[in-house]
């Protein structure tokens, strides 16, 4: 049998199957929008910035994965490889964020490349080239030759939080990732946070966090990055509030380990009046943090400055830890777990709120979401030798910390990018 003919028929069947999936799933998605009286998605400046309804999520996932696969399968191999090289993102997003172009372009109007060049001090030719590269990615549009107007995406970039987050990537993040292979060659199997691609890229000593703390500008960029994540689909707080039986705890003490400025603890206190919350984080100004708590919650939300790797001094019913483990290598994550053994007793638990990587790509998540998660994984190792983990790796981690640790259950609310991993200690 001619293998080339067989492969051709298989590919033909696959592209037809993908087209059918797209047609069927788009119809399902449109039906949800129609039932709710919502407009169809659009790139237009005045299009809704809200995510699609929850009921449309499965159809959305199917369409995005099928269209991406159809696009890729129709490319020749060289083109498929080369399209993954996206260094131009760093250039045009760096320019757009550093010079606040989204807020220079008027809403509902347009501005010329000439005026943007005058504002930024750049030569007009390079302005055109940078922004036209962005326009090809649906960021801005050129409704008339020589003029720039908003799309839905560029309008969203008027947000100070998002713009600052993008500038963080342009100024620190993307340059760091380019040094990842060099760092892996220089420090194989290393677990320390001061031997990373970040150190090589910026020629600095110390950890990423230590270097961020030295600069007010970088500290602001980091805080904006944290704030941006709360706005990303799949990371919203309601997944935590609705996804765990907080009411079932009754009157309980919850410690938010590494809780930064207490946003999660405040949300828990607002929803669940029987919870008493303590936020612990390194080098915290306790008085300033507590001052920002709403007055009605001040008697139930408190703060403690503490090195989270030292022995936990406070007993609680739940030790909640959100996206802290992924910042650290296994060496330090096991140390963090062990720090709690003296306080854990029957009925208490460590509740880890973090990503779970699929064991094999495409096995348990829509691929378009998994790509983002694996990009995050590479960013973590580049900056701090952290990592995302699979289910098997989570089990291995808690057992390595102490054989008496066991994962009681793992749950992932539908639509959430984070899983709730409940760990108990059989003292």
Which residues carry out catalysis? 326
Closest C-alpha to 221, from 254, 188, 173, 269: 173
Helices (H), 235-285: 238-243, 263-271
Longest dimension (CA), the chain: 78
| 390: β partners | 357
What 8-state DSSP symbol labels residue 335?
Answer: H
Closest C-alpha to 416, from 233, 199, 145, 168: 233
**Residue 395 CB partners (closer than 8 Å, separation 6+):** 407
**Residue 355 CB partners (closer than 8 Å, separation 6+):** 323, 326, 373, 376, 388, 389, 417, 418, 419
Binding residues for S-adenosyl-L-methionine: 230, 281
Q: Which two tokens stand for residue 285?
A: 């100004």
**Residue 380 CB partners (closer than 8 Å, separation 6+):** 326, 327, 386, 387, 388
Binding residues: 230, 281
Rounded Cα distance, 264 and 179, in Å:
34
CB 161 within 8 A of CB 227: yes
Closest C-alpha to 209, from 134, 281, 146: 281
362: left (phi over 0), alpha (psi -120 to 50) or beta: left
CB 70 within 8 A of CB 367: no
Rounded Cα distance, 350 and 257, in Å:
10
Which pairing describes strands 349-354 and 419-425: parallel, antiparallel, or unpaired?
A: antiparallel
Rounded Cα distance, 373 and 330, in Å:
19
């Amino acid at each position: 049998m001619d293998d080339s003919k067989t492969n051709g028929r298989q590919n033909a069947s696959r592209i037809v199957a993908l087209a059918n999936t797209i047609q069927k799933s788009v119809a399902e998605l449109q039906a949800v929008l129609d039932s709710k009286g919502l407009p169809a998605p659009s790139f237009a400046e005045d299009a809704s910035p809200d995510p699609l309804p929850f009921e449309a999520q499965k159809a959305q996932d199917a369409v995005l994965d099928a269209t991406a696969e159809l696009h890729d399968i129709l490319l020749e191999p060289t083109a498929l490889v080369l399209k993954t090289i996206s260094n131009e993102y760093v250039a045009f997003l760096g320019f757009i964020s550093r010079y606040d172009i989204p807020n220079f372009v008027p809403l509902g109007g347009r501005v010329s490349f000439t005026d943007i060049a005058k504002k930024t001090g750049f030569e007009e030719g390079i302005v055109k080239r940078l922004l036209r590269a962005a326009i090809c990615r649906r960021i801005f549009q050129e409704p008339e030759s020589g003029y720039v107007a908003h799309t839905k995406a560029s309008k969203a970039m008027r947000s100070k939080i998002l713009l600052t987050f993008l500038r963080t990537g342009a100024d620190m993040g993307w340059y760091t990732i380019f040094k990842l292979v060099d760092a892996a060659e220089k420090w194989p199997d290393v677990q320390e946070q001061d031997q990373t691609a970040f150190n090589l890229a910026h020629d600095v000593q110390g950890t990423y966090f230590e270097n961020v703390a030295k600069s007010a500008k970088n500290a602001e960029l980091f805080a904006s990055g944290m704030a941006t994540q709360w706005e990303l689909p799949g990371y919203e707080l309601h997944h935590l509030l609705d996804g765990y039986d907080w009411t079932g705890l009754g009157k309980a003490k919850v410690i938010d380990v590494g809780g930064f400025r207490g946003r999660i603890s405040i949300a828990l206190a607002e929803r669940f009046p029987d919870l008493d919350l303590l936020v612990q984080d390194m080098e915290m100004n306790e008085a300033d943090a507590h001052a920002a708590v709403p007055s009605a919650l001040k008697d139930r939300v408190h703060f403690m400055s503490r090195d989270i790797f030292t022995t936990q001094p406070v007993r609680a019913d739940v030790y909640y830890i959100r996206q802290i483990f992924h910042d650290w290598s296994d060496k330090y994550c096991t140390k963090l777990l062990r720090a709690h053994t003296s306080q854990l007793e029957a009925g208490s638990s460590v509740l880890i709120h973090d990503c779970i990587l699929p064991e094999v790509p495409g096995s348990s998540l829509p691929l378009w979401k998994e790509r983002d998660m694996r990009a995050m994984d590479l960013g973590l190792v580049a900056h701090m030798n952290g990592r995302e983990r699979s289910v098997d790796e989570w089990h291995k981690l808690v057992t390595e910390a102490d054989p008496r640790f066991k994962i009681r259950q793992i749950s992932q609310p539908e639509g959430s990018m984070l899983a709730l991993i409940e760990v108990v200690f059989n003292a």
